[in-house]
Structure 1
Amino acid sequence: MPESCRSRELPASLLTNPEMVRACRARDFARVFRLVKVYAGIYPSMIARRCELTPSRVGEVMSGRRQLQHMDVIERIADGLRIPGHMLGLARRTWETPLALATDGRTTPQSVASDPVAPASLPGAEVDSILTLTSRTDPSPSMLQALRSSIEDYWRRDDQHGGEALRPAVLGQLRYVVGLLKENRPAAIRHGLYGVAAELARLTGWTYFDALQYNQARAYFTEALQLSKEIDDRQFMANVLACMSLQATYQEKPADALALVNAAQDEARAAPGTTPRVLSMLSLREAFAHASLGNRYATHASIGEAHRHFDQIQRGDTDPAWVTYFDEPKLIVDTGIAHGRLGEAATAEPLIAEALRRENSTNQRGRAFHAFWLARTQLGLGKLDQACQTATDALEPAASVASERVAGHLREFYDELAPHREEPVATAFESRLRVALPMRVSGSPRP
């Protein structure tokens, strides 16, 4: 049957095939194209036509002689082969069936658009080879600086809005930089590219962690470790291990959290030039792990170490960019959270409240996250009115950021409010919650 008579959709069995899922996640298009050929009967010439590629380019990809990393090409492949955007780290594609239709068995899905008209002719192999030469990029120090600046911007936007929308761009840039590492580069450029790739991998892992997608987060954190190990950046390895420790705390694996942060501290101490700010941050991550284990003495000792290191910070310290967020308000709020994890609410409450007053107003996720921590702490102390007011104040920043971690703390507060649900102040909070975050509570008694 001619291809134009077939459905453009790939078989569901292929889209759920673990090998296909892994290939898409890695953007291994050689493997994707082979699987599409074997399981969907879509041959290279058809792939080329659907994805607006030349047959020679498809052949080079399938033979492993070419990588596809440009976002516009990846989007054409997703649209041409009908691979859902999330499988390739892209935003939801316009042709994907709306969620409402997908969950309503009585509704017939809208028919997908017919094939776009193929160009009258595609470039030949000679032109394709010429274009390959012009697409090569020789990274320069200024390019590395531009990449680092974009990473700083990603982190700012992540704090303000969450990482879900950023992830496709970050992933695309990560794969682009990893692709640049496959060719010989001057030592300084190669070192810089590894550092940039490690930072992008950690940021990708963080966006998955913030979405509570732990397996994906661990995979990218591991990639960040491997990349930073290539250039023996032990401070950055310590940073990644600290992220993994925090994730283990959320997964209620405190023993793993402690082992990971202890490894992070070992790396940091072995690294030349590790600053007191880095050691302070790591000590508080250790305090989180000890508190989750219920070890009061060790928690207090780690908190003391964190403050001792912080007091040693000097104006001229050359802190890595990734730790500059750890300022005095962050030290105070994390100290409060460590006490809170230990069940010491009376000690935790004034610390978290003070940090909130001093916190950067642009960090929407941080403000929401810490405010819900404070509300839960106040509720534990029997301060119902204050707790509901604090939680109400947190709704605005919570609504502006896409973060499953923040949503999780909101759910925990809402559940802990259950014994007081009939109190007027609790009723008023729930009413505000339903207005501010309708999608979190609609159709469910839980926000």
Structure 2
Amino acid sequence: MPDADRPQELPARLLTDPEMINACRLRDFARVFRLVKTRAGIYPSMIARRCELTPSRVGEVIAGRRHLLHMDVIERIADGLRIPGHMLGLARRSWETPQALVVTERESQQPSEPEETPTSLPGPDVDSILALATRTSLSPATLEAFRSSIEDYWRRDNQHGGEPLRPAIVGQLRHVVGLLKENRPPAIQHGLYGIAAELARLTGWTYFDARQYNQARAYFTEALHLAKEIDDRQFMANVLACMSLQATYQDKPADSLALVTAAQDQARSAIGTTPRVLSMLSMREAFAHAALGSQARTHEAIKEAHRQFERIGQSDPDPAWVSYFDEPKLIVDTGIAHGRLGEAATAEPLIADALRREDHSNQRGRAFHAFWLARTQLDQGKLDQACYTATEALESASTVSSERVTGHLREFYDQLAPSRQEPVALAFEARLRALLPPVSGSPHP
């Protein structure tokens, strides 16, 4: 390989430049490639060779005619241009880890003189230290520590959005997957598979919430494979339900129904599936039927979700991942299902009631549900109420990194088109511009 094309570190001044950091965080490869060209002298033809892309594809990216979304391509870019993994939301790349120190025996040693340890020599990286410590002391308590960190990730995801957390989550996922390669007692190995599956699902969820659907599907699929290794059918049902919800966002209602049907099959074949899990899956089924426009089947699925919820007992051994599906969540999802069908008058009081009762720390959930309340109000011609509610949703959305929520609020702005010059609509537009950044290439907020 010619020297000009050999992967080498980018200049530190470029990797620490706020513009480069932001471009990598957003995976705006048009900007990344332009910065690499102007600041590091790596031209498009060289970028293409290093990243195993065609020159025409690189040119289309720089011109803004193509976006790079596939995980394998992003990893090739990181490796080819030597962009540290965390900057692109990836795990630590193999070339980032310092080589192990090679210890050579001195030709002439003085046994009587103690050898000093050179302070300038680098030590093992943090990942290596953690891996070594885990190998020597992995125990049920360690598994609980992993589970506790996952619960904390979910809590912070609800409060702030998952995108800022993703590098840490992916790093922990790869660390746990690495631990699976070693021989462990069966109970420990089983627990590690479950933890890895939940970390993969959480990673997929952060991509879904960012509307990066290809990456989300890849991690959801990884979660399915990990759960299948331990035959955790309830968790497989949970992942399939996430994929079903994503399919509704991608306007693939038939896929959504097929995925949630598969989820229900997995749950029913599992031993000890709880009513709460079955209720959640029935509500996802209602979403799929509503996306297909099937009123009767949507109502049947809603009825089944409520019937299963009424069966929940205090001693039911619910998996931790379904604990979020409480009564306010059941009510708000019922309202959203009716809203998807266009039954705004039925949906509005349900969503409003749930908003009054749900946890105020879940900023993303409150923004998402307030959007749906505003939409049902607008569908009924209640313009003032709808704009007031949407503004409340904006306040919550501005504290959370969630393209899924901000995308909904921009959709609401589009729905205001017939009333765009009304004072309340103008006030909402002003607040939207103030609180949410504009979408590149969009003519409106």
Mapped contact 2:91–2:174 kept (Cα < 8 A): no
* Mapping of residues 290-369 of structure 1, within 5 Å: 290-369=289-368
* Mapping of residues 373-388 of structure 1, within 5 Å: 373-388=372-387
Aligned CA distance change for structure 1 residues 198 and 14 (closer, same or farther; 3 Å) = farther
Aligned CA distance change for structure 1 residues 135 and 374 (closer, same or farther; 3 Å) = closer
1:410 corresponding residue in structure 2 = 409
Mapped contact 1:296–1:342 kept (Cα < 8 A): yes
* Mapping of residues 111-130 of structure 1, within 5 Å: 123-125=101-103
- Report how far residue 436 of structure 1 moved: 2.3
- Report how far residue 183 of structure 1 moved: 1.1
- Report how far residue 375 of structure 1 moved: 0.6
Does 1:440 pair with 2:418?
no
1:69 corresponding residue in structure 2 = none
Letter in 1 for 2:158: D
- Report how far residue 433 of structure 1 moved: 2.0
- Report how far residue 411 of structure 1 moved: 1.1
* Mapping of residues 33-432 of structure 1, within 5 Å: 81-83=82-84, 85-87=86-88, 89=90, 123-125=101-103, 136=132, 137-138=134-135, 139-432=138-431
- Report how far residue 318 of structure 1 moved: 1.1
Can you list the C-alpha shifts for 1:384-421, whole angstroms capped at 9, x where unaligned?
A: 01001101111111000011110111011000011101
Can you list the C-alpha shifts for 1:102-137, whole angstroms capped at 9, x where unaligned?
A: xxxxxxxxxxxxxxxxx9x98315699x97799533
- Report how far residue 432 of structure 1 moved: 2.1
Aligned CA distance change for structure 1 residues 23 and 247 (closer, same or farther; 3 Å) = closer
Q: In the aligned structure 1, how far is the partner of 2:430 from the partner of 2:196?
A: 45
Mapped contact 2:89–2:166 kept (Cα < 8 A): no
Q: What secondary structure sits across from 1:314 in the alignment?
A: coil
More moved, 13-22 vs 267-276: 13-22
Can you list the C-alpha shifts for 1:353-395, whole angstroms capped at 9, x where unaligned?
A: 1111111100000000110111111001000010011011111
2:52 corresponding residue in structure 1 = 17
- Report how far residue 434 of structure 1 moved: 2.2
Mapped contact 2:237–2:266 kept (Cα < 8 A): yes
- Report how far residue 440 of structure 1 moved: 2.8
Q: In the aligned structure 2, how far is the partner of 1:7 from the partner of 1:134?
A: 26
Aligned CA distance change for structure 1 residues 23 and 253 (closer, same or farther; 3 Å) = closer
Can you list the C-alpha shifts for 1:203-249, whole angstroms capped at 9, x where unaligned?
A: 00000000111110000000000000000000000000000000001
Q: In the aligned structure 1, how far is the partner of 2:89 from the partner of 2:416?
A: 40
Mapped contact 2:244–2:255 kept (Cα < 8 A): yes
Percent of residue pairs bearing the same amino acid type: 68
- Report how far residue 15 of structure 1 moved: 5.3
Q: In the aligned structure 2, how far is the partner of 1:317 from the partner of 1:134?
A: 36
TM-score by length of 1: 0.76
- Report how far residue 431 of structure 1 moved: 1.9
Letter in 1 for 2:350: L
Mapped contact 2:200–2:223 kept (Cα < 8 A): yes
- Report how far residue 173 of structure 1 moved: 0.3
Aligned CA distance change for structure 1 residues 135 and 201 (closer, same or farther; 3 Å) = closer
Aligned CA distance change for structure 1 residues 122 and 185 (closer, same or farther; 3 Å) = closer
Mapped contact 1:291–1:338 kept (Cα < 8 A): yes
Can you list the C-alpha shifts for 1:33-65, whole angstroms capped at 9, x where unaligned?
A: xxx6xxxxxxxxxxxxxxxxxxxxxxxxxxxxx
More moved, 134-143 vs 339-348: 134-143
Aligned CA distance change for structure 1 residues 278 and 2 (closer, same or farther; 3 Å) = closer
Aligned CA distance change for structure 1 residues 84 and 205 (closer, same or farther; 3 Å) = closer
Q: In the aligned structure 1, how far is the partner of 2:372 from the partner of 2:255?
A: 23
TM-score by length of 2: 0.76
Letter in 2 for 1:235: Q
Aligned CA distance change for structure 1 residues 26 and 195 (closer, same or farther; 3 Å) = farther
Q: What secondary structure sits across from 1:325 in the alignment?
A: coil
What is the number of residues matched between the two proteins? 368
Q: In the aligned structure 2, how far is the partner of 1:379 from the partner of 1:146?
A: 46
- Report how far residue 441 of structure 1 moved: 6.9
Aligned CA distance change for structure 1 residues 296 and 15 (closer, same or farther; 3 Å) = farther
RMSD value, Cα: 3.1
Q: In the aligned structure 1, how far is the partner of 2:337 from the partner of 2:195?
A: 32
Can you list the C-alpha shifts for 1:157-191, whole angstroms capped at 9, x where unaligned?
A: 00011111000000000000000011111111100
Aligned CA distance change for structure 1 residues 134 and 363 (closer, same or farther; 3 Å) = closer
Structure 1 residue runs of 5 or longer lacking an equivalent are 37-77, 92-118
Can you list the C-alpha shifts for 1:81-101, whole angstroms capped at 9, x where unaligned?
A: 34575446279xxxxxxxxxx
Aligned CA distance change for structure 1 residues 82 and 445 (closer, same or farther; 3 Å) = closer
Aligned CA distance change for structure 1 residues 433 and 186 (closer, same or farther; 3 Å) = same
2:37 corresponding residue in structure 1 = none
Aligned CA distance change for structure 1 residues 297 and 183 (closer, same or farther; 3 Å) = same
Letter in 2 for 1:123: L
Mapped contact 2:51–2:76 kept (Cα < 8 A): no
Q: In the aligned structure 1, how far is the partner of 2:219 from the partner of 2:149?
A: 19
Q: In the aligned structure 2, how far is the partner of 1:15 from the partner of 1:164?
A: 27
Q: In the aligned structure 1, how far is the partner of 2:208 from the partner of 2:380?
A: 30
Letter in 1 for 2:305: A
Q: In the aligned structure 1, how far is the partner of 2:157 from the partner of 2:89?
A: 20
